[in-house]
């Protein structure tokens, strides 16, 4: 059974929070897929992961880099898993397909708490995960931008 963690962004932007969460996951040694809602943002997230912190390094690539199966972190707007990742990050409105949920050990679903469309979509994904009997966790940022798990 997959585990899905919902990350409700309230203080930080996605561009601030995503690299930090990916870095923590990367440090576990697991392969990661980052699925972004549109192709334009793939290039932005790719560049962001190279530059977000001078002291950190996250080896990653996109379709343009080739050798997808060799990438420890693969960024795409597609519902694929060419690097056989066990962790999936969904952001920028990326869709979670019910058939793909069980391909990953852990899914990180990031959504902007100030965007009504993303809130509505997150609620819909939560309901779908409930129906699929998926282990769910809900994380919300406090005023200091720290993550707190909320029991629902």
pLDDT of residue 11: 93
pLDDT of residue 101: 86
CA distances from 38 to 45, 95, 130 (A): 11, 10, 26
Looking at residue 81, which CATH number applies to its domain? 3.40.50.10110
Cβ contacts of residue 60 below 8 Å, gap of 6+? 34, 46, 49, 71, 72, 73, 74, 75
pLDDT of 39 higher than 70? yes
pLDDT of 79 higher than 80? yes
pLDDT of residue 100: 85
Residues 5, 108 contacting (CB under 8 angstroms) = yes
Q: Which helix (H) or strand (E) holds 141?
A: strand 135-141
The alpha helices in the chain, defined as continuous H runs, are 14-26, 39-51, 116-131
Full domain range(s) for residue 18: 3-150
pLDDT of residue 1: 64
Residue 57 tokens read as 């390094």
**CA 18/CA 7 separation, integer angstroms:** 10
Q: Which helix (H) or strand (E) holds 130?
A: helix 116-131
Task: Determine the Cα angle at 50 with ends 45 and 52, to 5°.
Answer: 80
Calculate mean pLDDT across residues 33-51: 93
Residue 21 tokens read as 């969460």
Calculate mean pLDDT across residues 143-147: 90
- What is the percentage of the chain residues whose pLDDT exceeds 90? 78
Kindly report, residue by residue over 1-27, the tens digit of the pLDDT: 689 999 999 999 999 999 999 999 999
Structural domains of the chain, count: 1
Task: Determine the Cα angle at 98 with ends 96 and 103, to 5°.
Answer: 85
Residue 15 tokens read as 């561009």
Kindly report, residue by residue over 82-129, the tens digit of the pLDDT: 999 999 999 998 999 888 888 999 999 999 999 999 999 999 999 999
């Amino acid at each position: 059974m997959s585990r899905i963690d919902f990350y409700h962004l309230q203080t930080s932007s996605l561009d601030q929070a995503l690299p930090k969460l990916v870095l923590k996951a990367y440090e576990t040694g697991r392969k990661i897929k980052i699925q972004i809602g549109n192709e334009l943002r793939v290039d932005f997230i790719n560049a962001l992961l190279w530059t977000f912190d001078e002291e950190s390094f996250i080896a990653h690539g996109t379709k343009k880099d080739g050798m997808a199966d060799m990438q420890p972190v693969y960024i795409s707007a597609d519902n694929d898993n060419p690097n056989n990742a066990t962790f999936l990050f969904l952001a920028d409105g990326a869709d979670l397909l019910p058939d793909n949920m069980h391909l990953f050990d852990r899914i990180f679903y990031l959504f902007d708490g100030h965007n009504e469309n993303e809130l509505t979509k997150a609620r819909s994904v939560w309901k779908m995960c409930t129906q699929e009997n998926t282990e769910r966790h809900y994380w919300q940022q406090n005023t200091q931008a720290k993550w707190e798990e909320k029991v629902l």
